[in-house]
Amino acid sequence: MLRRHFLFCLSALLALAAGTAATFAEDRSIVVASTTSTQDSGLFGHILPIFKDKTGIEVKVVALGTGQALDLARRGDADVVFVHAKAQEEKFLEEGHGVKRFDVMYNDFVLIGPKSDPAGVAGTSDIVAALKAIQEKQAPFVSRGDRSGTHVAELKLWKDAGIDIDAAKGPWYRDIGQGMGAALNTAGAMNAYVLSDRGTWLSFKNRGDLEVVVEGDKRLFNQYGVMLVSPDKHPNVKVDLGQAFIDWLISPEGQQTIANYKVDGQQLFFPNASQGS
């Protein structure tokens, strides 16, 4: 009887140890709330296997618009935020939801449009003048409408152009509430203009009659930043694993890995962590 009791206890301890080991193994993962542009461009598909090989840490990406990604983190459902709308990121920090923000990389936005160019803006570099022409001619325009970094940038550009887009939009302006890939697909189907980050555009295969019509304006600069979600607000945050991912992103190795990602020989993102936040 005593021997049977001993064996039972031993089995229970072994099962507990196995369960603990399994739980520990599962804990070698983090959730990163990020943007559809980093996902749709293929960047994560390039860098995450390299990071996992080096650290053993699996990164699970939830790709949303920047506003939605930050809201996910505010609920404590992510360990790290990797987005591209600096004003929103700084507000997130001010609210105490993030620990510290680091610049990671940049690219730029481009205005995509049909080759027929009904607004007559192709080949110019003044995004404000281009948006004014699109609105004046009621040329079809697709907006992401999803509180993403790209959507926030688009709204600011309409404001810079002196246009109250809420008052000005009509049938010509289609607000889809979806990610960058979906917005480009919609623009292709409608022969419409759309603001895109360059990375997603370069990796986008279904271009149809679309092309870059406006680029090079300094107002189209697109900075990405990364933050650890605050463990003070959310004790479930995996601080060590999340910080390891951030440290790697801004390290020389991580920065070079980002720089190495190219599509058809073109670099999609330009690392700039060394320049400070």
What is the percent of the chain where pLDDT is above 70? 90
Report pLDDT for 59.
98
**What CATH architecture is 28-107+223-275?**
3-Layer(aba) Sandwich (3.40)
Domain residue limits, the chain: 28-107+223-275, 108-220
pLDDT tens, position by position, 104-138: 999 999 999 999 999 999 999 999 999 999 999 99
Q: Which of 141, 153, 145 is nearest to 213 (CA)?
A: 141
Report pLDDT for 27.
72
Tell me the average pLDDT across 29-45: 93
**Mean pLDDT, the chain, whole residue set:** 91
Domain 28-107+223-275 and domain 108-220, same fold? Reply is yes
pLDDT tens, position by position, 149-165: 999 999 999 999 999 99
Q: How many CB atoms lie within 10 A of CB 84?
A: 27
Q: What's the start-to-end Cα distance of the chain, in Å?
A: 68
Taking 50 as the threshold, does the pLDDT of residue 22 lie above it?
Answer: no
| Calpha distance 113→130 (Å, rounded) | 11
Q: Which of 213, 208, 201, 222 is nearest to 264 (CA)?
A: 201
| Calpha distance 128→191 (Å, rounded) | 20
Taking 50 as the threshold, does the pLDDT of residue 86 lie above it?
Answer: yes
CATH topology of domain 108-220: D-Maltodextrin-Binding Protein; domain 2 (3.40.190)
> Are β-strands 58-64 and 29-35 bridged in parallel, bridged antiparallel, or unpaired?
parallel
What does the CA dihedral 82, 59, 180, 165 come to, rounded to 10 degrees?
A: -30
Q: Residue 228's Cα: distance from chain center in Å?
A: 15
Residue 59 · residue 29 · CB < 8 Å: yes
| Calpha distance 257→49 (Å, rounded) | 11
| Calpha distance 209→192 (Å, rounded) | 10
Cα distances from 43 to residues 87, 116, 216, 219, 241, in angstroms, run 23, 31, 22, 23, 20
Q: CB neighbours of 186 closer than 8 A, spacing ≥ 6?
A: 142, 174, 176, 178, 192, 194
pTM for this one? 0.83
